[in-house]
């Protein structure tokens, strides 16, 4: 005997058998889940502890409002400080074209040597990336507008322009010493 089934009939039969198998498998797994849920529901309910009592905050009456404010300048100090700020004339040159070494913080740069040619001193400075730069007095270095004033065998001296904390600027000496790293 030879049976001739159409592909459509075979697909339908396979789909029905697959669905029945999935339902049978799901029922076996769901039985465990239902047992666990029933067990948890059968447990005795626990007692939730009450919230802690909130104590009222004591009020405080501020009575020093007629005294001097510690965060404001005294009457005599304010004009002198304003006068000092406008008179020092120290400002970084914001119109000047920045040099390459001004992108690095001064503490990340290392002096690695000096060169002298035609009685001119040159300093050798290594950046974090390992690039070595040749500099001379008048060049700028570091992120605080540091202008190089002298190059010696063991250090590079410079003057930085830094904020003074009162909306003005001051000059601060700094140096970069010869590195013993390598």
CA–CA separation, 85 vs 82, rounded Å? Answer: 5
CA–CA separation, 136 vs 115, rounded Å? Answer: 10
Identify the weakest region by mean pLDDT among 3-7, 62-66, 105-109: 3-7
Task: Provide the β-strand partners of residue 115.
Answer: 122
Q: pLDDT tens across 8-54, in order? A: 888 888 888 887 877 766 555 677 878 888 888 888 888 888 889 98
pLDDT > 70: percent of the chain? 85
Q: Tell me the torsion sign for CA atoms 166, 167, 173, 175.
A: positive
pTM above the 0.85 mark? no
Q: pLDDT tens across 141-157, in order? A: 999 999 999 999 999 99
> Quick check: 137 pLDDT over 90?
yes
Instruction: Please state, as a whole number, how many other Cβ atoms lie within 10 Å of the Cβ of residue 135.
Output: 23
Instruction: Please state, as a whole number, how many other Cβ atoms lie within 10 Å of the Cβ of residue 68.
Output: 9
What does the chain come to in residues?
A: 182
pLDDT of residue 85: 46
CA–CA separation, 85 vs 63, rounded Å? Answer: 35
CATH class, domain 101-177, is mainly beta
Contact between residue 150 and residue 159 where contact means Cβ atoms under 8 Å apart: no
Contact between residue 141 and residue 106 where contact means Cβ atoms under 8 Å apart: yes
Contact between residue 113 and residue 153 where contact means Cβ atoms under 8 Å apart: no
What are the residues whose beta carbons fall under 8 Å from the beta carbon of 27, sequence distance 6 or more?
none
């Amino acid at each position: 005997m030879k049976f001739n089934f159409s592909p459509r009939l075979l697909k339908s039969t396979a789909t029905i058998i697959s669905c029945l198998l999935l339902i049978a498998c799901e029922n076996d797994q769901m039985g465990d889940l239902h047992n666990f849920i029933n067990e948890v529901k059968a447990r005795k309910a626990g007692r939730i502890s009450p919230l802690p009592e909130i104590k009222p905050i004591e009020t405080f009456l501020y009575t020093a409002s007629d005294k001097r404010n510690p965060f404001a300048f005294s009457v005599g100090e304010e004009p002198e400080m304003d006068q000092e700020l406008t008179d020092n004339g120290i400002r970084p040159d914001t119109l000047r074209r920045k040099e390459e070494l001004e992108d690095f913080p001064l503490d990340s740069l290392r002096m690695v040597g000096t060169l002298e040619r035609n009685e001119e001193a040159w300093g050798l400075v290594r950046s974090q990336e390992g690039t070595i730069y040749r500099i001379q007095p008048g060049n700028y270095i570091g992120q605080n507008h540091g202008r190089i004033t002298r190059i010696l065998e063991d250090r590079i001296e410079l003057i930085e322009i830094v904020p003074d904390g009162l909306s003005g600027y001051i000059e601060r000496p700094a140096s970069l010493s010869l590195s013993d790293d390598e």
